[in-house]
Structure 1
Amino acid sequence: MTALKGKVVLVVGVANADSIAAGCAQACSDAGAEVVVTYVNDTAKPYVQPVADTVGAKLFLPLDVEVSGEMEAVFDAVRDRWGKLDTVVHSIAYCPASDLHGRVTDCSAKGFAQAMDVSVHSLIRMARLAEPLMTNGGTILTMTYYGGEKVVDHYNIMGPVKAALEGTMRALAVESGPKNIRVNAISPGPLQTRAGSGIAHFDTLINAARLRAPGQCLITVADVGNVAVMLASDGARSISGDIAYVDGGLHVRA
């Protein structure tokens, strides 16, 4: 595949080889892109390093969106090396466990603010930093979930957070459109990832998804990566402000 040949892609949110972001990084690399991979801290680095090596990451940099200056340093490094950026894959979300596992009614102000900052406002900040580097247009992708549209048992406060993320994505798409920057969200079905395993009763959610999806099978991170490549390619130049479901049709079931 050469759909992304000559393009520079920044992938944020790789936790390990099984993460959605890793699937996106691999697919973009396979499609010919120059890939930049980030890791959240030194503890996470050994788990992310194999992914960076496998995809041939041209830059491998630390990025904790809660640490002042780290995000700016990543975009500066991209600018210094290529002078441009074509695609950002934003695949990060976080909520303190005590708030994630409780009722929305009981969510603390601090937990809500942190979840919104890491999961949503970080997308706004990345869009702001990416804009001057996307001189010939570009693509910004973020990861959402069906729990942002309907109430999914045990997804709790992350439902409202994902709803905010989707609304933010649409607003960014409108604001960035005149500069030929497209902003979309990908909505994967349940996956066996480390992030997913933090949700209470996740095994039940996985099994229900397998049985209810029209194809009665689960998706893979490679499936998500392939859709990311499609949306980042020039062939998707007319798609913006949209949500691409990668769930085997699960979202059409009542």
Structure 2
Amino acid sequence: MTNAAAFTLAGKKGLVLGVANERSIAWGCAALARAQGAEVVASCLNEKARKWVEPLTAPIGVDLVNCNVEEDGQLEALVKHAVDKFGKLDFVIHSIAWAPLEDLHGNVVDSSREGFARAVSVSCHSFAELAKLCAPHMKDGGSMLSMSYLGSGEAVPNYGLMGPVKAALESMVRYMAMELGPQNIRVHAVSPGPILTRAASGIADFDGLMATAQAKAPLQRLVTLEEIAQLSAFLCSDAASGMTGQTIYVDGGVHAVD
């Protein structure tokens, strides 16, 4: 018999990284998790971001911690804050990505070694670092999610450097799923269609990318922040207990058509 309670995050404790403003995927995920009854700690990049984010998180009872994953000790401090508050973790959502603009806006063949390395470190390897820190505190198992994009598996104009970086992220998801599965920790990449977030605004001709996606989509529209959050909430719930190691699209069907 179906357990309706499995389709909720009530009573779960979670950590959501990467809230930038009201349009960020991390914010959509954190807000829905709270609405479903989860307790949540969230992160933003720094004090500059905090002035935009705290007015969102404070009214719904989400603790906010500054965390720049390039700064030594900040990721560790974020996880410690969450564990000290909750005693354990049930889900972790990693929604951070970054590349230097000069590398992001150029051809992949022209990217600098330093820029590529920083993009991989921030957007991909930080997920593995986060998992290492969080897994010991997921004694009952749980879910870890990161955010990808269609450009990981095919060449998307203007997506450039982030395509190979997201491909690495999706591969990392599969290896993390294999390694953490014995601890009943499930790992997924969520691959949304394009929506106008602060990170997306750094991609050249992003309006054109959104227009192309809408024209190709079988649903004939772009997806919403709420739809991305709903998929993420499902994957963090007990209803998804038999799933791990996948890249799951929420893009109106764009990935399925030529």
TM range (shorter): over 0.9
Residue 254 of structure 2 corresponds to 250
* Offset of residue 119 of structure 1: 0.4
User: Which of 27, 31, 39 in structure 1 is aligned with 2:32?
Assistant: 27
Deviation at 1:28? 0.8
Equivalent in the alignment of 2:242: 238
The residue aligned with 1:76 is 80
Match of 1:197 among 196, 201, 208: 201
What is the alpha-carbon distance in structure 1 between the residues aligned to residue 86 and residue 192 of structure 2? 31
In structure 1, what is the equivalent of residue 70 of structure 2?
Answer: 66
Pairwise CA distance, 1:66:
0.6
> Moved runs in structure 1, 4+ residues, more than 3 A?
none
Match of 1:209 in 2: 213
- Of 100, 108, 111, the match for 2:112: 108
Structure 1 residue aligned with 2:191 = 187
> What amino acid sits opposite 1:68 in the alignment?
D
CA drift at 1:90: 0.2
The equivalences for 1:1-254 within 5 A come to 3-57=8-62, 59-254=63-258
Relative to structure 1, the CA distance from residue 163 to residue 52 in structure 2 (aligned partners, 3 Å threshold; closer, same or farther) is same
- The amino acid of 1:61's aligned partner reads V
Deviations 1:222-244 (A, max 9, x none): 11100011000001001100011
- State TM-score, norm by structure 2: 0.96
Gaps of 5+ in 1: none
**Percent of residue pairs identical:** 47
Q: Supply the distance in 2 between the matched residues of 1:220 and 1:87 (Cα, whole angstroms).
A: 22
Amino acid corresponding to residue 56 of structure 1 in structure 2: G
Aligned equivalents of 2:55 and 2:214: distance in 1?
29
Rounded Cα–Cα distance in structure 1 between residues aligned with 2:141 and 2:248: 20
In the TM superposition, what is the alpha-carbon distance from 1:14 to its structure 2 partner? 0.7
Q: Which one is further off, 195-204 or 169-178?
A: 195-204
Check whether the contact 1:99–1:106 (CA below 8 A) recurs between aligned residues: yes
Q: Distance in 2 between matches of 1:226 and 1:129?
A: 26
Measure the CA separation in 2 of the matches of 1:64 and 1:34: 22
Structure 2 unmatched runs, 5+: none
- After superposition, give the CA deviation of every residue in 1:185-236 in whole Å (9 maximum; x if it has no partner): 1000010111111111111111111111111111111111000110000010
Q: Deviations over 1:46-74 (max 9, x none)?
A: 111122124320x2111100111111111
What secondary structure, in the 3-state scheme, does the structure 2 residue paired with 1:187 have?
A: strand
Length, aligned pairs only: 253
- Distance between the aligned counterparts of 2:81 and 2:18, measured in 1? 17
Distance of 1:243 and 1:117 partners within structure 2: 20
| Two-structure CA RMSD over aligned residues (Å) | 1.1
